[in-house]
Amino acid sequence: MKMVIVVRSDVKMGKGKIAAQVAHAAVSLVLDILNSNNTKWKSWLYEWIDEGQPKIVVKVNNLEELLDRIQKAKSNGLPVSIISDAGKTQLQPGTITCGGIGPSEDSEIDPITGDLKLL
């Protein structure tokens, strides 16, 4: 079980900003699952928690690559989140910085993000 956060490398963010955006994606995924009626997602969530909440952070080159990966995950029935910045510090309001996929079984996520490099 794992959660994968996909970060845009074309958006210039400091390390702290990246960390905050990744955290937003992880929290959003968990909250969305808890607020859903999807029993499969909830079972994945609790299994992921029991396994220590593994998270992998990878990078893509641009917005189109990010949205493509998120759409593939969504089409495969996986939980997804897209994070848009509020624009209070380094970025313009509405800038999409990253997206989250999962938590889910490795075999469900790896075909979508397994070729991406770690951030």
Q: What is the largest CA-CA distance in the chain?
A: 38
CATH architecture, range 2-113: 3-Layer(aba) Sandwich (3.40)
Q: What is the pTM of this model?
A: 0.95
Which sequence spans correspond to the domains of the chain? 2-113
In which order are the strands placed within the sheet that holds 2-8?
55-60, 2-8, 96-104, 80-84
Phi, psi of 73 (to 5 degrees): -65, -45
Q: Which residues, in sequence order, are bridge partners of residue 60? A: 8
pLDDT by position in tens, the chain (length 119): 999 999 999 999 999 999 999 999 999 999 999 999 999 999 999 999 999 999 999 999 999 999 999 999 999 999 999 999 988 888 889 999 999 999 999 999 999 999 999 99
Do 109 and 51 contact (CB within 8 A), yes or no?
Answer: no
pLDDT digits (tens, 9 = 90+) for 71-102: 999 999 999 999 999 888 888 899 999 999 99
